[in-house]
Amino acid sequence: MSSSIPHFLRLADVPPQALEALIQRAIVLKRAPEPTHRPLTGQTLAMVFAKSSTRTRVSFEAAMAQLGGHAIFLSPRDTQLGRGEPVEDTARVLSSMCNAIMVRNDSQAQQEAMAAVSSVPVINALSEQCHPCQLLADIQTIVEHRGSVRGVTVAWVGDGNNVCHSWLEAARVFDFQLRVATPEGFEPDAAWLDVAGDCAQLVRAPAQAVEGAQVVVTDVWASMGQEAEQEARTAAFAGYCVDNALMRRAAADAIFLHCLPAHRGEEVTADVIDGPQSRVWQEAENRLHAQKALLEALLAPPGTTGAVTLDG
């Protein structure tokens, strides 16, 4: 592995100042789109999706097209990955033909193994461990709403899952307080809690997490790959639904976020996700803008106007 190749397998792969700059760049790209800004002309992104996706696939593909490049959708069903070709061999080949590799699968370790042999950047588009691209869009949404995320209190209610892990990482990087409320046995992994350090607090009761918070976030109770646990999880998460009674405990100007897809009537009620405090559609759209900022930073030629440099 060439250590000079920038990968984006977790937020910490990019220096904090560069992450802040990416958020600002995403806001600029959204406010003032320039159709002639096509710094990725001739470049190709290989998108390996071992799990389903709507937002991530469309936002990466649209981002590449808008920046002048091209994206190729690859699923295990249609590639040799599904017939057992090692991920490292796949990464070697893809990196000899494409300018970056995006991966969504259930193994952070496999993504790291791909990055280790890839001659181009590897981007984590969700693993069982984390979802860093989602957090770029989520932080952008908070910054658009409040001007800054620094010092804000965010309440995570529900499963201590991959998205929660990236929220923990974001709390440390962007300097906000994250209160995480999960049922017993569904806490985030200790390693990710350690990353957040004193920026995170683990509580049991959703009401305790949400009290006075400026942002309330949740996610599905059964993530992709956990379908067989759906029934047991539905029982375990009773009392962890974000409803209007819970939202009333948050700050008066609090917003509600959810990475989507959502299950109305499970982790969130319809009147919250479809109500005035919800910013989920803005959050979903921001996947496009945040990833344009990321792709530009990773792939645009040096000196590209506006592009963020990732070396801090």
Active-site positions?
Answer: 104, 131, 134, 219, 259, 287
Composition of the chain by helix, strand, coil, percent to 5? 45, 15, 40
Which entry of ligand NVA, ligand CP, none binds 255, CB below 5 to 8 A by partner kind? none
Interface of this chain with ligand NVA, residues 235 to 294, rule: CB under 6 A: 259
C-alpha of 211 from chain center: 25
Helix (H, G, I), strand (E, B) or coil at 48: strand
Work out how close the CB of 173 gets to ligand NVA at its nearest, in angstroms, rounded to a whole number: 20
* DSSP letter (8 states) at residue 264: B
Work out how close the CB of 136 gets to ligand CP at its nearest, in angstroms, rounded to a whole number: 12
Of 220 and 308, the one with the shorter C-beta distance to ligand NVA is 220
Cα separation of 20 and 136, whole Å? 9
Cα separation of 267 and 239, whole Å? 9
Element (H, E) at 72: strand 70-74
Note whether 161 binds ligand NVA by CB under 6 A.
Answer: yes
Interface of this chain with ligand CP, residues 241 to 300, rule: CB under 6 A: 259-260
Cα separation of 7 and 145, whole Å? 29
Of 170 and 308, the one with the shorter C-beta distance to ligand NVA is 170
C-alpha of 133 from chain center: 3
In the structure encoding, which two tokens stand for residue 165, read together? 């892990």
Site string for ligand NVA, 223-242 (x = CB under 6 A): xx------------------
Of 54 and 208, the one with the shorter C-beta distance to ligand CP is 54
With CB atoms as reference, the residue minimizing the distance to ligand NVA is 223
Instruction: Enumerate binding residues for ligand NVA (CB under 6 A).
Output: 126, 161-163, 219-220, 223-224, 259
